[in-house]
């Protein structure tokens, strides 16, 4: 067991874990941040996506030892003072989900995407989101949601 200081959603947590423990497990089991989901365990479905140092990572295959003091943002930390992040608002506005299990990962990937490409083309959105699976098949709405968020939530 090793001790780690983890910066999550603006707070510092002291945790104990084996270095190889996936970040996802620490978030869910030790910090009770269950918004990130275990969908595949091999980093190919995107349900566990969180931001580490502003980059979208697959927390199910990210060992806790690799986080190294960089700030972690989970879906629970995206809302500020009861106000939704524009990407969250856009997902809500376009109803870009059905069961909602993949949604936190989708939203965080989209936040990272818009951080790097503020005005992405539809093609770019598809490429960047390709690593995420939505079994309910809401892909067209998710693309629409990201476009809407990129336009500051304004339609047209």
Partner 1 sequence: MAEPQSPTRRELFELLGAGVVFDITLEAAGQPILATRLHFAPDGKVTLLTGKVELGQGSRTLLTQCVAEELGIQVEQVQVVMGDTARVPDDGGTFASLTTPLTVPVVRHAAAAAREMLKTVKPEEAMLREIPVKAEVRRPQEWTVLGTSVKHVRGRDIVTGRLKFAGDLKAPGMLIGKVIRPEAYAAELASFDGSATERIPNVKVVRAGNFLGVAAPDESTAERAAGLIRAEWRPRELIQPPALYEHFKKTSAPPVANFNTRYPPLLEEGRVTEGLKQAAKRHEATYTLPSIAHAPIEPRAALAYWDEKGLTVFTGAQAPFGVRKQLAGTFNIPESQVRVIAVDTGSAFGGKHGPEVALEAAYLAKETGKPVRVTWSREEEFVRSYCRPAGIIEVRSGISAEGRIVAWDFHNYHSGPASLRAPYAIPNFCCAYHRAESPMRHGPYRSLAAVANTFAREAHVDELAELAGRDSVEFRLQNVAEARLREAIQRAAERFGWGRRRTAAGMACNIEKGGHMALFVELEPKGKSVRLLRMVMAFDCGAALNPDYLKNEITGALIMGMGGALFEELKYDRYKVLNGSFGRYRVPRFSDTPEMEVILIDRRDIAPAGAGESPITVVAPAIANALFRATGARRRSLPLAPDA
Q: What residue ranges bind partner 1 (CB under 8 A)?
A: 18, 21, 25, 28-29, 32-42, 44-45, 47, 74-76, 78-79, 84, 88-89, 91-92, 95, 97-104, 107, 125-127, 129-130, 132-143
Residue whose CB is less far from partner 1, 67 or 141: 141
Cα(36)–Cα(38) distance, rounded to whole angstroms?
A: 7
- Min dist CB 53 to partner 1, Å, is 20
Residue whose CB is less far from partner 1, 67 or 91: 91
Three-state secondary-structure class, residue 58: strand
- Min dist CB 98 to partner 1, Å, is 4
Q: What are phi and psi of 126, to 5 degrees?
A: -60, -45
Q: For 45, what's the count of Cα atoms within 13 Å in the CB-facing half-sphere? A: 17
Residue whose CB is less far from partner 1, 83 or 119: 83
- Min dist CB 59 to partner 1, Å, is 13
- Min dist CB 10 to partner 1, Å, is 16
Three-state secondary-structure class, residue 63: strand
Residue whose CB is less far from partner 1, 89 or 147: 89
What is the helix (H) or strand (E) element at residue 140, kind and residue range?
helix 139-150
93-142-32 Cα angle (round to 5)? 85
């Amino acid at each position: 067991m090793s001790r780690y200081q983890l910066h999550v959603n603006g707070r510092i947590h002291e945790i104990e874990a084996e270095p190889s423990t996936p970040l996802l497990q620490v978030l869910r089991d030790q910090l009770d941040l269950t918004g990130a989901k275990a969908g595949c365990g091999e980093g190919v479905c995107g349900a566990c996506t969180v931001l580490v140092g502003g980059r979208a990572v697959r927390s199910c295959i990210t060992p806790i030892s690799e986080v190294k003091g960089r700030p972690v943002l989970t879906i629970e930390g995206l809302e500020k003072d009861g106000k939704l992040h524009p990407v969250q608002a856009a997902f809500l506005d376009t109803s870009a989900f059905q069961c909602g299990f993949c949604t936190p990962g989708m939203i965080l990937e989209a936040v990272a995407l818009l951080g790097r490409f503020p005005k992405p083309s539809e093609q770019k959105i598809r490429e960047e989101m390709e690593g995420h699976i939505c079994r309910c098949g809401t892909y067209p709405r998710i693309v629409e949601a990201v476009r809407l968020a990129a336009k500051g939530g304004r339609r047209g």
